């Protein structure tokens, strides 16, 4: 990076963090309409009568920006008959809330492995690697150790099976130059399929979603998931192929984790309406805690359902909901502003 | 857990410091790294490296609040990685910061420029300010910004163009000469 670019980059990095957070909090469909106080008051008076009193009582002060503590924005929540909350101290006062420790994606240095080396064989080639760090896997009872080879390859090795579940061939090494015409996405896909099939056998049952080619990386990325009745299994694959056709990285998350389960049957017996209703009730409760929320309907959409495992090894369904609701607040100059808040909540339902 | 408590854990060399940092700020740091690198796998690595760097920096540092401290580390590590990966490539995607460098004077100190950016952004309309920061702080492209904010991609580009023009004018008004 040139000196000027470093200067510009560092200067941008140092701007007030309130501005940085405000941009992050901005949401799709945020319709910020500044309305004249008089016209809004008239409309509210005509339409809502008694409700208007409540609105002005609850929305008489502009909430801090963002309207709700930013930590809630990224909080992850779970339910098992009850709803559990992780990482949001605001809700700590609820009796049923407790920390369940689902998010275990926390690296740590295992003192027993620190400074050790081992040889990892991958695709018939031996790599002499040094232990770097231990990384448990999200939503799954798998602990993986990361090793870095002398050539600069990174391996995540499943501690239980001793086999690599992820490899990045150019983690710490320069990639080969690919200055010619990039290979087509179809050709890259064929190479990715072939590379993965060597490790997982058939790709039958997987559907592939190609991520757009990354010009920065000069590569194509592919994600292979197993989707059953709209529910994705946490067992998935991925591969990256450079524009010149080298396999850059591969991963095999949760390979075989569901082999002992009749997944089709389990999913067909799920009562998603009941799960949705339980989650919706909880979401309603969270929104009620927002002081300036005016009671409008919450727009909810389940954006993702994933079958996975809890840290204690139990089969779970994770459901993620994107939610939005309208609210108003009053600026210091008396202007009433209508805005929309958005939240994402993730719940877990034990299935055994 | 409060930032103060988390920092205390760092000082006590307790690994719970990493755990609590992840709980409080993990998704946000992931968002920063993913925005810049466009790769979940690399973003995971950068976030992990962030915790390692924080572990090695605290103590002696005692950051308060913690979120900006961690966020800026993640951003810097992600940018370094992007630079490393792009090094020597011709025609590849470059850091969006290049767009800005064209309207920035050559001889300016980092601190002066930081203050000038801050002043400029605080005067910008909300939408323009958010788009500017999403582009140049988080590294999102126009389509990603459009999707996040619910506006058209062409509008994002137009707003960025005009914002850069105003930035240049603002810098010139403050005595910087491009």
Closest Cβ opposite residue B85 in set A14, A71, A217: A217
Instruction: In whole angstroms, give the CA distance from residue A144 to residue A165.
Output: 8
**Considering chain A, what is the average pLDDT of its residues?**
71
- Give A113-127 pLDDT, tens digit per residue: 999 999 999 989 999
The model's pLDDT over B63-73, given as tens digits with 9 standing for 90+, comes to 888 999 999 99
- Chains A and B: how many Cβ contacts under 8 Å? 159
Work out the average pLDDT over A270-275. Answer: 86
| More reliable by pLDDT, A344 or A113 | A113
pLDDT tops 90 at residue B132: yes
Nearest CA distance, B10 vs chain A (angstrom): 13
DSSP conformation class of B154: H
Residue among A6, A26, A239, A322 with most chain B CBs within 10 A, to mutate: A26
- Residues of B with CB below 8 A from A26's CB? 130, 134, 148-149
* pLDDT for res B19: 87
Distance (Å, whole) CA A155 – CA A120: 8
Question: Cβ of B110 and A14 within 8 Å?
Answer: yes
Does B93 have pLDDT greater than 60? no
The string of pLDDT tens digits covering residues A180-190 is: 788 998 999 99
Alpha carbon of A87: minimum distance to chain B alpha carbons (Å): 5
Using CB atoms, which residue from A13, A26, A218 is nearest to B76?
A: A13
Give the least confident one: A36-50, A275-289, B25-39, B162-176. A36-50
pLDDT score at A40: 35
pLDDT at B37 over 50: yes
Taking all residues of chain B, what is their mean pLDDT, rounded to a whole number? Answer: 83
User: Using CB atoms, which residue from A8, A22, A218 is nearest to B130?
Assistant: A22
pLDDT of residue A340: 65
- Binary contact (A74, B86; C-beta < 8 A): no
Best residue in A8, A133, A248, A346 for a mutation probing chain B (most B CBs within 10 Å): A8
Cβ–Cβ gap A15/B137 under 8 Å? yes
Question: A224 or A99: which carries more pLDDT confidence?
Answer: A224
pLDDT band at A47 (very low <50, low <70, confident <90, very high): very low
Give the range with max mean pLDDT: A122-126, A334-338, B36-40: A122-126
Q: Which chain A residues contact residue B152 at CB under 8 A?
A: none
Task: With a cut of 60, say whether residue B141 has pLDDT above it.
Answer: yes
- Given a cut of 80, whether residue A28 has pLDDT beyond it is no
Asked if A27 and B110 come within 8 Å (Cβ–Cβ), the reply is: no
């Amino acid at each position: 990076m040139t000196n000027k670019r470093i200067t510009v980059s560092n200067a941008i990095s140092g701007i007030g963090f309130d501005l940085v957070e405000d941009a992050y909090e901005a949401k799709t469909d945020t319709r910020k309409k500044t309305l004249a106080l008089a016209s809004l008051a008239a409309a509210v008076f005509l339409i809502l009568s008694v409700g208007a009193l409540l609105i002005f009582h609850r929305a008489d002060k502009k909430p801090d920006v963002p309207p709700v503590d930013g930590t809630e924005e990224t909080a992850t929540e779970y339910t098992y008959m009850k709803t559990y909350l992780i990482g949001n101290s605001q809700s700590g006062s609820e009796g049923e809330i407790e920390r369940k420790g689902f998010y275990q994606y926390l690296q740590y240095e295992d003192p027993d492995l620190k400074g050790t080396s081992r040889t990892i064989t991958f695709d018939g080639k031996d790599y002499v690697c040094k232990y770097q760090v231990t990384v448990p896997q999200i939503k799954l009872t798998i602990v993986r150790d990361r090793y870095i080879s002398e050539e600069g390859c990174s391996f995540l090795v499943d501690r239980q099976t001793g086999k690599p579940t992820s490899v990045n061939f150019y983690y710490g090494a320069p990639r080969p130059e690919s200055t010619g015409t990039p290979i087509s996405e179809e050709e890259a896909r064929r190479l990715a399929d072939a590379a993965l099939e060597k490790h997982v056998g058939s790709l039958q049952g997987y559907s592939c979603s190609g991520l757009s080619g990354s010009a920065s990386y000069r590569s194509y990325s592919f994600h292979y998931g197993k989707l059953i009745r709209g529910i994705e299994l946490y067992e998935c694959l991925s591969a990256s192929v450079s524009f010149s056709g080298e396999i850059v990285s591969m991963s095999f998350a949760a390979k075989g984790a569901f082999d002992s389960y009749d997944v089709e049957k389990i999913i067909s017996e799920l009562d998603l309406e009941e799960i949705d209703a339980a989650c919706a009730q909880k979401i309603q409760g969270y929104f009620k805690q927002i002081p300036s929320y005016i009671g409008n309907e919450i727009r909810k959409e389940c954006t993702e359902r994933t079958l996975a495992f809890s840290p204690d090894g139990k089969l779970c369904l994770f459901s993620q909901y994107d939610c939005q609701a309208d609210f108003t607040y009053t600026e210091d100059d008396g202007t009433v502003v209508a805005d929309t808040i958005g939240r994402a909540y993730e719940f877990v339902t034990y299935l055994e | 857990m409060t930032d103060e408590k988390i920092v205390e854990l760092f000082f006590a060399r307790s690994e719970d410091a990493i755990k609590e940092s992840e709980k409080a700020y993990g998704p946000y740091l992931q968002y920063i790294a993913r925005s810049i690198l466009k790769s979940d796998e690399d973003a995971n690595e950068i976030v992990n490296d962030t915790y390692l760097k924080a572990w090695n920096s605290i103590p002696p540092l005692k950051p308060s609040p913690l979120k900006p401290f961690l966020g800026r580390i993640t951003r810097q590590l992600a940018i370094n990685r992007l630079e490393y990966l792009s090094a020597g490539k011709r025609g590849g995607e470059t850091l969006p910061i290049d767009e800005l460098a064209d309207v920035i004077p050559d001889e300016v100190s980092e601190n002066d420029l930081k203050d000038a950016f801050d002043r400029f952004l605080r005067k910008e309309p909300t939408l323009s300010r958010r788009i500017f920061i999403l582009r140049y702080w988080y590294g999102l492209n126009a389509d990603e910004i459009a999707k996040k904010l619910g506006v058209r991609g062409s509008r994002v580009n137009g707003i960025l163009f005009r914002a850069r023009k105003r930035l240049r004018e603002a810098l010139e008004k403050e005595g910087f000469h491009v």
